[in-house]
């Protein structure tokens, strides 16, 4: 649910440096045309990068908006809207110079006022954004001229450059609007490679190639996001070739190759983890021993074998194994007896028919997850059976994506849920676990609160020393083993197929799609010759 950021920038903050963007990337190969159809199990919520906290919204926003910086194929930060930047010797000041040839999709020119306006909205307490903590670190935002500004910080901030990769929004569009309810959250105006054309709720979002994009117009004429809230239905559409990209489940990945005769498959580690989370504002979920008991009662290996066909790793904490902050810690063994003992020690009792009672009543857990994700649904069913063995009844409820987020997750209207986090490459996870980030629309919707973790999260993000950060993050993982914020289930893999007619597709450390605006289809292979007319 969070866009990836690179964790490499602290290397450069030791000394004063100046970074220039370099030359424009050429995209003259291949004809302009065709349509790229992507399927999603859920609709977007906000087409506004300041507000968007879900993956569906973020995927679309990445084509409409630009940040000052962006990530290249190797997850190094490079310039985007910025022409160049320099960082002071102590790492507390950045000077940005902006490109002067950037235009918003409606023809208005992009200037520093748009950056300042975005910053002001990110730091406005009335804005329902989960990203404010990064920008509240800024002591002063000083405009030099129409295309340059300086930001100054009181203390070191390790993700200092990554934070400026967030999409910039236009002042002239939002200045007279309530950003939380603005009509332009559904008809966005950006600077990116694709221009918004249409949004039909729960059906599709249509984008069209931006002829004035500063790096050259993308060769794929139309980008169509289709909402298909069932992974099985999505998979069947591979046979009719009505979608061009699909994130596969492990069982789909292992399907007959005849399904993929027109597609290329790509498999690579995901920077994410899937978890069973609890509402820690409720009893008994707020009891550490209860969450420890759940760790003993759930056999994660059974989930990985039975649901994921072995295409995942058992999760132990908040960082996936490819993160430089990851620490191998002792996993909880599968021990239902130990789980029962812990529950009985915190006030549970057992009825004659073997059911666990809490406060004298049959204890039940209502687990929710989102519709269309078969992997999470099957995971919930396995957990249901495993907890039944220790006398806990689990009720599983599958919810439509936008309802799941808006009515349940954001309003903390749940006992437990199964969800996944797309974590940053930089290990800063302040917004996920710090006790100050528990408000509506913020990421710590489970309401995890641990004073020692709070302190370590702050220390880790306010030093440039990688060695010191590693120590802090390792300590956090040790603490979270004993005081688990949730049940970390598994680290998944990305399993993606893309139609073979698309050229220039490259798998890199940044994954698939990092160079999408350079993809093209040879003239004789173009499927949708009048793509812009087909989606009117």
pLDDT at position 19, please? 58
Provide the 8-state DSSP code for 63. Answer: H
Please state the rounded mean pLDDT for residues 298-308.
96
Provide the 8-state DSSP code for 68. Answer: S
Q: Where are the domains of the chain?
A: 9-227+500-534, 272-493
Query: pLDDT (tens digit, 9 = 90+) per residue, 358-379?
Result: 988 999 999 999 988 889 999 9
332-346, 350-364, 449-463: segment of lowest average pLDDT: 350-364
If one counts every other C-beta atom within 10 angstroms of the C-beta of residue 293, the result is 28
Mean pLDDT, the chain, integer: 91
Rg (CA), the chain: 24
Task: Identify the CA nearest to 41 among candidates 377, 383, 314.
Answer: 377
pLDDT at position 21, please? 61
Whether the predicted pLDDT of 16 surpasses 90? no
Query: pLDDT (tens digit, 9 = 90+) per residue, 167-181?
Result: 999 999 999 999 999
User: Looking at domain 272-493, which CATH architecture does it have?
Assistant: Roll (3.10)
Is domain 9-227+500-534 annotated with CATH 3.40.190.10? yes
Query: pLDDT (tens digit, 9 = 90+) per residue, 376-434?
Result: 999 999 999 999 999 999 999 999 988 998 899 999 999 999 999 988 878 999 999 99
Whether the predicted pLDDT of 9 surpasses 70? no
3-state DSSP call for residue 185?
A: helix
Share of the chain above pLDDT 70, in %: 94
pLDDT category, 357, cuts 50, 70, 90?
very high
φ and ψ of 392, to 5 deg = -105, 125
- Tell which phi-psi region holds residue 100, choosing left (phi > 0), alpha (psi between -120 and 50) or beta: alpha
pLDDT at position 28, please? 55
Query: pLDDT (tens digit, 9 = 90+) per residue, 220-255?
Result: 999 999 999 888 899 999 889 999 999 999 989 988
Q: In this structure, are residues 291 and 275 in contact, taking their beta carbons and an 8 Å threshold? A: no
pLDDT category, 79, cuts 50, 70, 90?
very high
Please state the rounded mean pLDDT for residues 149-165.
94
φ and ψ of 228, to 5 deg = -130, 95
Whether the predicted pLDDT of 4 surpasses 60? no
φ and ψ of 535, to 5 deg = -110, 15
CA dist 335 and 272 (Å) reads 26
Q: Give kind and range of the element (H or E) at residue 524.
A: none
CA 251 to chain centre: 24
Please state the rounded mean pLDDT for residues 457-467.
95
CA 68 to chain centre: 19
Retrieve residue 333's tokens: 């063994």
pLDDT at position 352, please? 87
CA dist 161 and 362 (Å) reads 51
pLDDT at position 29, please? 62
Residue bearing tokens 């990068």: 49
CA 172 to chain centre: 28
pLDDT category, 536, cuts 50, 70, 90?
low
pLDDT at position 243, please? 96
Residue bearing tokens 């129409």: 146
């Amino acid at each position: 649910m969070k866009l990836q950021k690179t964790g490499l920038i602290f290397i450069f903050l030791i000394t004063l440096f100046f970074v220039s963007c370099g030359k424009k990337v050429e995209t003259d190969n291949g004809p302009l045309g065709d349509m790229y159809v992507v399927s999603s199990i859920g609709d977007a919520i906000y087409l506004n990068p300041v507000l968007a906290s879900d993956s569906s919204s973020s995927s679309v926003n990445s084509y409409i908006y630009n940040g000052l910086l962006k990530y290249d194929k190797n997850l190094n930060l490079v310039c985007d809207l910025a022409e160049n930047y320099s960082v002071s010797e102590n790492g507390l000041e950045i000077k940005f110079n902006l490109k002067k040839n950037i235009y918003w999709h409606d023809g208005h020119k992009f200037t520093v006022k748009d950056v300042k306006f975005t910053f002001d909205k990110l730091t406005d307490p009335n804005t329902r954004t989960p990203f404010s903590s990064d920008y509240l670190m800024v002591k002063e935002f000083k405009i030099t001229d129409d295309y340059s500004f300086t930001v100054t910080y009181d203390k070191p901030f390790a993700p200092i450059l990554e934070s400026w990769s967030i999409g910039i929004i236009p002042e002239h569009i939002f200045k007279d609007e309530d950003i939380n309810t603005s009509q332009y959250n559904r008809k966005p105006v950006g600077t990116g490679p694709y221009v918004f054309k249409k949004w039909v709720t729960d059906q599709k979002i249509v984008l069209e190639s931006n002829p004035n994009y500063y790096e050259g117009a993308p060769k794929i004429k139309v980008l169509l996001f289709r909402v298909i809230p069932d992974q099985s239905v999505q998979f069947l559409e591979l046979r009719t070739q009505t979608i061009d990209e699909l994130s596969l489940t492990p069982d789909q990945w292992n399907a007959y190759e005849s399904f993929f005769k027109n597609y290329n498959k790509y498999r690579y580690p995901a920077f994410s983890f899937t978890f069973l989370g609890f509402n820690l504002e409720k009893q008994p979920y707020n009891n550490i021993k209860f969450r420890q008991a759940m760790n003993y009662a759930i056999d994660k290996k059974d989930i990985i074998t039975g649901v994921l066909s072995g295409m995942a790793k058992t999760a132990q904490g908040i960082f996936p194994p490819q993160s430089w902050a990851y620490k191998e810690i002792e996993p909880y063994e599968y021990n239902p007896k130990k789980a029962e003992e812990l529950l009985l020690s915190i006030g549970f009792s057992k009825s004659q028919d073997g059911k666990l009672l809490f406060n004298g009543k049959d204890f039940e857990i209502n687990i929710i997850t989102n519709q269309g994700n078969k992997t999470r649904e099957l995971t919930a069913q396995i957990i249901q059976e495993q907890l039944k063995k220790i006398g806990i009844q689990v009720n599983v409820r599958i919810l439509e994506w936008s309802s799941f987020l808006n009515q349940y997750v954001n309003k903390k209207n749940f006992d437990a849920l199964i969800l996944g986090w797309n974590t940053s490459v930089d290990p800063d996870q302040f917004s996920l676990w710090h006790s100050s980030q528990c408000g509506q629309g913020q990421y710590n919707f489970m309401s995890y609160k641990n004073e020692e973790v709070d302190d370590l999260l702050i220390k880790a993000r306010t030093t440039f020393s990688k060695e010191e950060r590693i120590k802090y993050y390792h300590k956090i993982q040790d603490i979270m083993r004993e005081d688990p914020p949730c049940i970390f289930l598994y680290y998944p893999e990305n399993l993606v197929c893309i139609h073979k007619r698309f050229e220039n597709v490259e798998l890199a450390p940044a994954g698939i799609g990092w160079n999408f605006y350079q993809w093209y289809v040879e003239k004789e292979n173009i499927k949708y010759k009048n793509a812009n007319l087909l989606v009117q």
